[in-house]
Structure 1
Amino acid sequence: MEIKNELVVGAPLDKVWAYLLDVPNLAPCLPGAELVGDDGNGTYDGKVVARLGPVKLSFSGQVKIIETDDAAHRMVMHAAGAEDKGKGTADMMMTVVLAPASGGTTMKVEQDLTVSGAAAQFGRGMIADVTGVLMQSFAECLQYNITNQGSGGTTTAVRAARPASGFAIGVRAARMALMRVFARFFLPYDRNR
């Protein structure tokens, strides 16, 4: 399934780009994600844990930046993993393109995601809504870390993302779904919705 998100990070484009290329520094901003290994050649081992109601999803896998274009501020990453308990898998190709925006940087994120197992039971709409919530949290953490970098005499991340909390994610995703339903019934028709 393809999922698209557009976010604004209140920081200069060059700083956002540099931050995105630093995977170990970037990982704490992904809710529920943790890096556990680095092969030294740009491939990182990681874990992602999320709880959605009674379902706890725990994946182990690898992520690698497979393409970068400094002039276009475009990056392509590949991530793949399997459930620690269970037979589910996830495979994602993610393309990020940055552009200057008033007050910061626009980040366009396109994900081509394939999931199986327990995660697939949530359906496309719920997965897209949850992804949108996680991406917004990621952008907020990114902005916070970039704007506060160096304020304490260190260049490491100041704020790590909160763990992926099923309740908070579920509430925000449900709100997004309700807004879509409301728009379908009560607002003029828009093909792009």
Structure 2
Amino acid sequence: MPDSHQNEDLQSSVTWEGFSTARPPLFSGEDFAYWKDRMECHLKTQVEMWIVIQTGFTIPFDNDGLPLTCERWDAATRKKIEADAKATQTLQCGLTKEELNRIGPFISAKDLWNKLNELHEGTSDTKVSKRDLLLNKLYNIRMMDRESASGLHAQIQDLLNGLHAIDQKIKNHDVIRYALKAFPKNTLWASMVDAYKVSRDLC
């Protein structure tokens, strides 16, 4: 039986890996789409943070075109500044030092979020290229020798996650067709695929 110190080490490890609901998921540079979905959910638990990331916020200016000093902030402005600071801190806590350094300077939570997305998803032009590449891989995916059905499913899901990250929607009907086509044409798999097609009226 593990002692108390081992239990503490295990709990600390699990929390560090992002399974704590109180701590934002950590992104270390791999699988951005997976991290992004989890971070969105985390931010929405305090919805004012998600709103300020989507809408943005800048401190209002006075009649001379200068930012209002803190003593002149009204209640609504204070609330937005607090939400922006909380959202910024949450995003920073969800990034390693290396990832944060790659982003460079930013002026708000929205600016940080947008730069992070552009860094890992690309501009509109690079998104088109990435979309075409992922769709081609999905269309031509095949089960490898000695690969399990769960392994094939994992491959397909990785491609779908990548497409989801760049806002490319795929109909479930099409995903099923790509998956069925990926199975080898040997007798065992062929009979199972044919039976599924009949049951789902996909013939």
TM over 0.5: no
Per residue, is there more strand in 1 or in 2? 1
Highest Rg: 1 or 2? Answer: 2
Per residue, is there more helix in 1 or in 2? 2
Higher relative contact order (CA 8 A, sep 6+): 1
Q: TM-score, normalised by structure 2?
A: 0.23
Q: TM-score, normalised by structure 1?
A: 0.23
